[in-house]
Amino acid sequence: MHLIYGVSRCNASAAARLYRDRHPNLERYPDHRVFVNVHRSLKEDGHFPNQIRAGGRPSFPYVEEMLQEVPDDPSISVRGIEERTGIPKSTAHRILQRAEMHPFHVQ
């Protein structure tokens, strides 16, 4: 679909007609706005619209709260973070490593 939009030189109406001509056996055809939305989404977001992006490990929703614990109390341990936030020690340690922060070290 996006290739047809490019072939038609970013003319959405022409792309819709060309798509209809290339796929005559379909029951339904995309409107010209679909071509514009697909192009905009790829350009701005880097993925197709409505594409599910929930792959991999689930992320912990309170990362910012956990990262704020270290500046608030520089002597806090990973176990202390676990007690205060409920985030498992291993997860807290991994989040700190990715943020280049170290427990027990004054930042």
**Within a domain: 51:** no
Check whether residue 36 and residue 67 sit in a common domain.
Answer: no
Does residue 33 share a domain with residue 6? yes
Segments forming the whole domain that contains residue 71: 63-98
Domain contains 49: no
Per-residue pLDDT tens over the stretch 58-105: 677 778 888 888 888 888 888 988 898 888 889 888 888 888 887 665
Residue 72 lies in a domain: yes
In a domain, 69, yes or no: yes
Domain count, the chain: 2
Q: Are residues 39 and 70 in the same domain?
A: no
pTM here is: 0.47
| DSSP codes of every residue in 34-95 | HHHHHHHHHHHTSS-TT-----SSPPPTTHHHHHHHHHH-TT--HHHHHHHH---HHHHHHH
